[in-house]
Structure 1
Amino acid sequence: MTSASASGRLAPTSLMLGNLVTGCSVLAPAGLLPELASDLAVGIQTAGLLITFGAVVLCICSPLTAWLTSRFDRRRLLAATLLVLTLGNLASAFAPDYASLLALRLVMLAVGALYTPQAAGTAALISPVEKRGSTIAYVFLGWSLAAAVGLPMITFIGSHSGWRAAYLAVAAAGAVSFVLLTWRLPSGLKGAPVALKTWTELGRNRLVVLLLLVTTLQMSGQFVIFTFMGPLLKRLTGADSNQIGLVFAIYGACGFLGVVIATRIVDGWGAYRTSLLFTCLMFAGVSAWTLAAGTYVLMAVAVAIWGLGFASTNSMQQVRLVAAAPPLASASVSLNTSVLYIGQAIGSAIGGSLFARDLLGTTGYVALMFLTLALLAILASRQRAQIAVPARAAG
């Protein structure tokens, strides 16, 4: 009996829902900035540091935990991670002040950092080779759902019942995900051990390094805007909390649609062309946001275009990294998650600085600079991939 047949139909879904909880845990402050700032008596930029500092912890702990836990049974490891996220969100709902909330978040995310890369590696273990790309993309659908359903719901609950109720809702979702994963993911799944020399081998793989650069640039560009999307909409268009929640919903729903499309076409198109397509959509959406600044309807349309690309590009990065160095997939995916969070930290820090200086319109142009560089890196990665394939064949 193969791992794929033993996993059952709900195993990939249990991994996907875990990514939903992880995504909500990471993104929650973005939908709660006004409520957090008001109730905890801090500025919007200071509240935004929950994302910046959280991203720093995530980027450090993602490869570190991948190395320390590479020999662990995947079901136990992922279930334990979801339990920590659940308890962390529950405790956050009762945090008495900003410092306590920040401390709880950093501890929670230090452990939660391992979920996404380990889920990707586990998806590769439970799927046949010919379906690996679509299975990994499906598992990352959880992040799209976090933006499509989770973040709008968090924003809605936060604006109507307070940020503490929003954290309780995320904790409840975590408990459900924990039960499903423990029930449906098979035991005995283990990836290749991650040794210190693994990181050296990845560093020597120029295609892997280039793909990691693509991820960093994509995320930096998006989070210049995304972290402060709610306050930006309010300042630029006068949008209220319901209108802001609607834009988050549009962003996430289109992200969900984009991943569904990517999942269906990646096995035929290939990950490179699929990645290029959705990065171009992301670039077009951020361009439209920048040019439409001040007009709510046009900015919402821009977010829809941008949303089609954001989650799909990340899924394709995972697929390309697995293909670039299959024996090192667990480590390379964890590094990709790490640089993803580096990008979040860079983007949110720059966005916060611009917001604090009232340079609201400049955020779009800075985001476009990062995305332009990401497109150039993707184009360069195709040539590098064409060089790498004959080299492996000759070896």
Structure 2
Amino acid sequence: MLGNFVTGTSVLAPAGMLPDLAAGLGVTIRDAGLLITFGAIVLCIGSPLTAWLTSRIDRRLLLTTTLAVLALGNLASAFAPNYAVLLVLRLAMLSVGALYTPQAAGAVALIVPPESRGGTMAYVFLGWSLAVALGVPLVTFAADHAGWRGAYLTVGSIGLISFILLWLRLPSGLTAAPVSLRTWAAVGRNRRILTLLGVSSLQTSGQFVVFTFFGPLLTGLTGAGPREIALVFAIYGVCGFVGNVIASRIVDGWGAYRTSALFTALMLAGIAGWTFAAGHFAVMAAAVAVWGLGFAASNSMQQVRLVTADPMLAGATVSLNTSVLYVGQAIGSALGGTLFAAGLLHVNGYVSTAVLTLALCMVVVATRDRNA
């Protein structure tokens, strides 16, 4: 879970300090946002590719090495002399970092019994909720007080601590079933899995139209400063943490389908509230709380549903779902950046609402299964 916190914070860090990065590197906010877009492209390619290439490697060695690269990449980013070098460092770091989240989920499946996987996987994915609840606000606070370089040093230091703890605590000898070309072919023939992956892509695309530019949008729409922006990030993440805890408690009784539909509906309600309350900070912050309740839990339920759709393909489908999430990040952040650069700050919310409406329709109609 702590490793997911480091991974999530590393991936999302630029969103917490876009104005500082833009000012410090002499680029526009849209260009600074491309650090997320290009990083997501690398992640979406790297996740299934590395799952295939590393499927025979011991999970302890694989996961700790990945965390070490993330830690060192963040530390090196603190000393990047310009935007181009920072971008190259980020892409190199995330090309390896793509391994962590799906392989952590695979390692959990090897450690706990089948009847406990749903709740345990939701617990491990709390790391991403914490990345938004604590990691991104910490980045925003550090960038405001110590500059963007200080923010990267902070994330890198936490990464080193996580690397040491995981090396000491994770048992060795954990190996997953090898991922072969036949595995990918089987995934491609499974219509249910492909539909679930489509849902993941829509959920993430819709959110990142707004999420990538949380700070600049809040400033432009409400005049919010760094403290208010950090507060909204914290609300989003804390509520994501709470939502994931609730999901982990109810999923074994409700089933992943009902749980997924509930938390996707909360995401849609929250982003719709953000959209129609644009200009009113308190109401927008309250809407973010509702949105936050859904985002992490929905992702966790997607992972659970993919595992239960075909347990034999779990190693491939979980990594592919992670890849699809990054595709959604790339699409959403690129679209959001285009709208922001055009000065269409209100339109970001309307586009996000439309995409999440489609995602909920797919959950309810196309993946309906009361037993899964």
The TM-score, its normalising length taken from structure 2, stands at 0.99
Write the mapping of 1:47-196 to structure 2, written as runs, cut at 5 A.
47-196=32-181
Cα shift at 1:197: 1.1
Write the mapping of 1:1-395 to structure 2, written as runs, cut at 5 A.
16-383=1-368, 385=369
Amino acid in the other structure paired with 2:5: L
Figure out how many residues of one structure are paired with residues of the other and give that number.
Answer: 372
Cα shift at 1:380: 2.7
Amino acid in the other structure paired with 1:304: A
Cα shift at 1:379: 1.5
1:114-167 CA-partner distances (Å, limit 9, x unpaired): 100000111111111111100100110000000001111110111111011111
Cα shift at 1:376: 1.3
Amino acid in the other structure paired with 1:37: A
- Structure 1 outlier segments of 4+, above 6 Å: none
Q: Give me the whole-angstrom Cα distance separating, in 2, the residues matched to 1:183 and 1:265.
A: 32
Cα shift at 1:368: 1.0
Amino acid in the other structure paired with 2:330: A
Q: Give me the whole-angstrom Cα distance separating, in 1, the residues matched to 2:40 and 2:245.
A: 27
Note if contact 2:122-2:247 (Cα within 8 Å) is conserved in structure 1.
yes
Amino acid in the other structure paired with 1:324: A
Q: Give me the whole-angstrom Cα distance separating, in 1, the residues matched to 2:295 and 2:343.
A: 26
1:40-80 CA-partner distances (Å, limit 9, x unpaired): 00000000000000000000000000000000000000000
Report the identity percentage. 67
Amino acid in the other structure paired with 1:366: V
What RMSD over aligned residues (CA atoms) do the two structures have, in Å?
A: 1.0
Give the gaps of 5 or more residues in structure 1: 1-15, 390-395
Q: Give me the whole-angstrom Cα distance separating, in 2, the residues matched to 1:213 and 1:48.
A: 24
Q: Give me the whole-angstrom Cα distance separating, in 2, the residues matched to 1:226 and 1:368.
A: 12
Amino acid in the other structure paired with 1:282: M
Cα shift at 1:382: 3.6
Q: Give me the whole-angstrom Cα distance separating, in 2, the residues matched to 1:382 and 1:150.
A: 33
Q: Give me the whole-angstrom Cα distance separating, in 2, the residues matched to 1:127 and 1:214.
A: 27
Q: Secondary structure at the match of 1:162?
A: helix
The TM-score, its normalising length taken from structure 1, stands at 0.93
Cα shift at 1:381: 3.8
Q: Secondary structure at the match of 2:345?
A: coil
Amino acid in the other structure paired with 1:315: S
Q: Give me the whole-angstrom Cα distance separating, in 1, the residues matched to 2:189 and 2:353.
A: 30
Q: Give me the whole-angstrom Cα distance separating, in 2, the residues matched to 1:191 and 1:136.
A: 16
Q: Give me the whole-angstrom Cα distance separating, in 2, the residues matched to 1:345 and 1:365.
A: 18
Q: Give me the whole-angstrom Cα distance separating, in 2, the residues matched to 1:154 and 1:287.
A: 27
Amino acid in the other structure paired with 1:377: M
Q: Give me the whole-angstrom Cα distance separating, in 2, the residues matched to 1:293 and 1:228.
A: 14
Amino acid in the other structure paired with 2:36: I
1:309-357 CA-partner distances (Å, limit 9, x unpaired): 0111000100000000101101000000000000000000000000000
Give the gaps of 5 or more residues in structure 2: none
Cα shift at 1:374: 0.6
Cα shift at 1:86: 0.5
Indicate the residue corresponding to 1:9 in structure 2. none
Are residues 381 and 124 of structure 1, via their aligned partners in 2, closer, same or farther at CA, if it must alter by over 3 Å? Answer: farther
Amino acid in the other structure paired with 2:138: M
Amino acid in the other structure paired with 2:153: L
Amino acid in the other structure paired with 1:82: L
Amino acid in the other structure paired with 1:206: R
Amino acid in the other structure paired with 1:328: L
Q: Give me the whole-angstrom Cα distance separating, in 2, the residues matched to 1:376 and 1:278.
A: 13
Q: Give me the whole-angstrom Cα distance separating, in 2, the residues matched to 1:97 and 1:201.
A: 44
Amino acid in the other structure paired with 2:116: K
Q: Give me the whole-angstrom Cα distance separating, in 2, the residues matched to 1:229 and 1:24.
A: 15
Note if contact 2:243-2:292 (Cα within 8 Å) is conserved in structure 1.
yes
Q: Secondary structure at the match of 2:81?
A: coil
Q: Give me the whole-angstrom Cα distance separating, in 1, the residues matched to 2:290 and 2:20.
A: 28
Q: Secondary structure at the match of 1:71?
A: coil
Note if contact 2:195-2:367 (Cα within 8 Å) is conserved in structure 1.
no
